[in-house]
Amino acid sequence: MSLTNIWIQTRADGLVRADQVSGIEAHRTPALAGKPSRWLLDIVLPAVTGSGTATAGEGPAWALGPTHRTMIQTPDDPGDAPTALARLLAQLDPVHAAGVITAAIASPPARASDSPPGDPHRDRDATAVATTSRIRFQFHPFPHPPTASHDTEAHYL
């Protein structure tokens, strides 16, 4: 893939160029005292990071691993969100798109009983909608630059 013009919005680390992503994963954080466990949807970058502590008489103990950048955090399992993001990237690649991908928690589907009697979606199966990705990805294309005028002066964006 050559996704050099696609950027992914992370939760706290700004934008990451999509061609730098080597993996997509969802994982649960441990519950801490007074704080519930959360699910994180991360993009994984090939850059290795490390952390460690000094151990008595053995020198420092280092743990190395790939860099994870969180796109979104949610209280519920994000389901097939990693696959949905991979599919979106694969769809954008051949059309040479340019823009930013964002993630948001998808709105829960309305129950049929919440719909007014004349609503054509009243009898639809809400379970099928609920089993799809719980994360909504949106691609925001960059605006096209204004068309060039016929003068010969250089213009800078």
C-alpha triplet 70, 76, 80: angle, nearest 5°:
70
**How far apart are the C-alpha atoms of 110 and 124, rounded to whole Å?**
10
Q: Is the pLDDT of residue 63 over 70?
A: yes
Q: Residue 11: which region, alpha, beta or left (left: phi > 0; alpha: psi -120 to 50)? A: alpha
pLDDT at residue number 25: 96
Q: In this structure, is residue 119 part of a structural domain?
A: no
pLDDT at residue number 129: 29
Q: Closest by alpha carbon to 131, among 70, 75, 81?
A: 81
Range of the domain at 23: 1-29+38-46+65-108+126-142
pLDDT at residue number 79: 92
User: Which residue in the block uniquely carries the two structure tokens 């719909």?
Assistant: 115
DSSP string, 30-42: PPBTTB---EEEE
Count the domains in the chain: 1
Higher pLDDT, 6 or 60: 6
Q: Each residue of 102-157: pLDDT tens digit?
A: 999 987 655 544 544 544 444 443 322 223 458 999 999 998 776 665 556 665 65
Q: In this structure, is residue 135 part of a structural domain?
A: yes
Q: Each residue of 14-42: pLDDT tens digit?
A: 999 999 999 999 999 999 988 999 999 99
Q: Is the pLDDT of residue 81 over 50?
A: yes
> Which is it for strands 23-28 and 15-17: parallel, antiparallel or unpaired?
unpaired
